[in-house]
């Protein structure tokens, strides 16, 4: 995944922010915060994960499905199949 390596810093920063959000959920639960506060923290965390997922999916499409550099239909089909498998799992 060379394209992911190019975006490594940006992706790692997003993951670190998500980790901070998860830690905030943990602290809220430990401190017996109200349901509303916990739900808002969870919603923010889910949004951040969805954003990260969308970015990686977009990169995958651009590099493994729609890239003009892809020479063979088999390689393009492999990229599409990988994407379909991930999306199906994600939507379960």
Which domains are seen in the chain, by residue range? 2-91 (1.20.58.1000)
Q: What is the pTM of this model?
A: 0.83
For residue range 46-78, list pLDDT tens digits in order.
999 999 999 999 989 999 999 999 999 999 999
Whole-number mean pLDDT of the chain?
92
Question: Considering Cα of 82, then 56, then 61, then 54, what sign does the dihedral take?
Answer: positive
């Amino acid at each position: 995944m060379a394209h992911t390596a190019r975006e490594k810093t940006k992706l790692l920063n997003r993951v670190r922010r998500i980790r901070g959000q998860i830690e905030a959920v943990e602290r809220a639960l430990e401190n017996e915060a109200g349901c509303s506060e916990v739900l808002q923290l969870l919603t923010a965390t889910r949004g951040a994960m969805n954003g990260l997922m969308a970015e990686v999916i977009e990169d995958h499409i651009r590099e493994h499905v729609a890239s003009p550099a892809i020479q063979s239909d088999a390689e393009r089909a492999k990229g599409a199949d990988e994407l379909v498998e991930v999306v199906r799992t994600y939507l379960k």
